[in-house]
Chain A
Amino acid sequence: MSDATTLDRPREAHRDTPQRPTAVVTGIGVAAPNGLGARAWWDAVLRGENGIRPLTRFDATSYPVRLAGEVPGFVAEDHVRSRLLAQTDQVTRLNLAVAKEALDDAEVDPADLPAYAAGVVTASSAGGFEFGQRELQALWSRGGQHVSAYQSFAWFYAVNTGQISILHGLRGASGVLVTEQAGGLDAVAHARRQLRKGSSLVVTGGVDSALCPWGWVAHVAEGRMSTSNDPDRAFLPFSADADGYVPGEGGALLVLEDARSARDRGARVYGSIAGYAATFDPPPETGGSRLGAAAELALADAGLTPEEVDVVFADAAGERAADRAEAQAICALFGERGVPVTAPKTMTGRLSAGGSSLDLAAALFSLRDQVIPPTTGTDRPADDCPLDLVTGAPRTGVRLRTALVLARGRGGFNAAAVVRA
């Protein structure tokens, strides 16, 4: 074949659409501030239950911000065996619990798959930060000999992928991406890429946690968190009263499978990852947000038009300028109030790398149950955010076949994923 033939084709045609295996989701695991386990979380989301509360993990009284989304009732000993407890941070323990839930939900035993058919791709944002803080304290207060033998990997960004791979014997292509809050989508897209390269199953997504003083000061020092101490009024994306975000811990891991191998083993399918794209914002002075471009490219990747999108799960920054930019991107694509938009993350806070994969889980459950979960906190969108925001109660009676999930990571990262039933 001559290379010259590839030159003049339009961009979309670069992708070999017909031959691509479809990536389908066959298992979902969740840890969220308003519910541990996918079912508990989804029930709470539909009830509009808020998981944002005063911090209990450490004494936060000296900080101007004291609210967060902590995963409730997580007893590490119930999920992680003793030998692993000593060498793992909270973030890894959560990841191990959620990965097991996802694999159990998919009713798959990776040992039944060919040797290198299954891998792990996770998003991370800060690694095992509480573990790291303990070891930094040991180093600085007592000396280098007091640093743990586990520090060399327990805190680093690759730890969750590594530990999940080891625990479940997943020897296929694996990876770790860091793009702050966009990570959950980027990881799933990378997993889909591995399916195209020949893998048949990938455990993927993001579950994050850094609710320790060391993680907290990084947020506080930047000064972009909401300073409200009313859990129901602190995180108000798209509201005229939006005043910053509330951080949380948790996220979701998905079992993503090649459609054919899922079908061959008779797996139940939640839906497919039909489209994806990522873009990066130019500096504010030289151009606007490229979130809209990511959404357009993701739709093109899925071979769909905006009219075919039934619901949008917004990034929902909770900061005025960023909310406006996202509303503009959505309106440019769908028109003002042209598509139902929701942000169930108002009930969890922003979960770093976990937030956008949790939104994917929400989108998949929405399509399954034909219900759009509500945005809580925000009563109505600001005038400069002319969105059909689903507030107050879940919306039913809308036919839901396709969802668009948007995510942005601090520093200019945009990602968009299209999910189909």
Chain B
Amino acid sequence: MTRFEITDLTALLRESAGADEGVDLDGEITDVPFDDLGYDSLALLQTTGLIERQWEVVLDEEAVSEARTPGQYLEVVNQALNARAAV
């Protein structure tokens, strides 16, 4: 089964929203709030759009907007991927 990994997320974040100077996206960021990583709601909306198109999945809007960290966000994506696989 396909899993959406943290490296997939950081690559898409870089592509769709760039990266803040002084933030190491390759470090341990799973539980670092997006705010501290320099990403706002727009960055996440843009990234979500990219994921939905590239991974052909629809993410739950409410759940995405409530994800505060990369870890929580990965969970939302992977839940959607699992749900799709189960169909």
Contact = CB atoms under 8 A, between A and B. Distances in A.
The judgment on whether A and B are partners is yes
Interface of A: 81-87, 145-146, 148-150
B42 A150 contact: yes
Contact of A86 (B18, B45, B53): B18
B53 A146 contact: yes
Contact of B16 (A84, A86, A145): A86
B45 A149 contact: yes
Contacts of B19: 82-83
Contact of B46 (A82, A85, A150): A150
B16 A81 contact: no
A149 B49 contact: yes
A83 B16 CA distance: 9
B34 to A, nearest CB: 12
A145 B46 contact: no
B20 interface: yes
B14 to A, nearest CB: 8
A83 B20 contact: yes
B22 to A, nearest CB: 11
B60 to A, nearest CB: 16
Given A87-B42, A149-B42, A150-B42, A82 B49 contact: no
A149 B46 contact: yes
Contacts of B15: 86
The binding surface of chain B is classed by DSSP as helix
B78 to A, nearest CB: 21
A148 B18 CA distance: 14
A89 B45 CA distance: 19
Contacts, number: 36
Contacts of A149: 42, 45-46, 49
Nearest to B58: A145
Contacts of A84: 18
Interface of B: 15-21, 38, 42-43, 45-46, 49, 52-53
A86 B39 CA distance: 12
Given A82-B18, A82-B19, A148-B46, 5 more contacts: A83-B43, A86-B18, A87-B17, A149-B42, A149-B45
Contact of A82 (B20, B42, B45): B20
Nearest to B48: A149
6 residue pairs, one from A and one from B, having the closest CB atoms: A82-B18, A149-B46, A149-B45, A83-B18, A86-B18, A86-B17
Contacts of B46: 86-87, 148-150
B20 A145 contact: no
B9 to A, nearest CB: 15
B49 A145 contact: yes
Contacts of A146: 49, 53
A104 to B, nearest CB: 19
Nearest to A145: B53
18 contacts: A81-B18, A81-B21, A82-B18, A82-B19, A83-B17, A83-B20, A83-B43, A86-B15, A86-B17, A86-B18, A86-B46, A87-B42, A146-B53, A148-B49, A149-B42, A149-B46, A149-B49, A150-B46
B45 to A, nearest CB: 4
A82 B13 CA distance: 11
Contacts of B21: 81-82
A145 B17 contact: no
Contacts of A145: 49, 52-53
A84 B19 CA distance: 9
Contacts of B43: 83
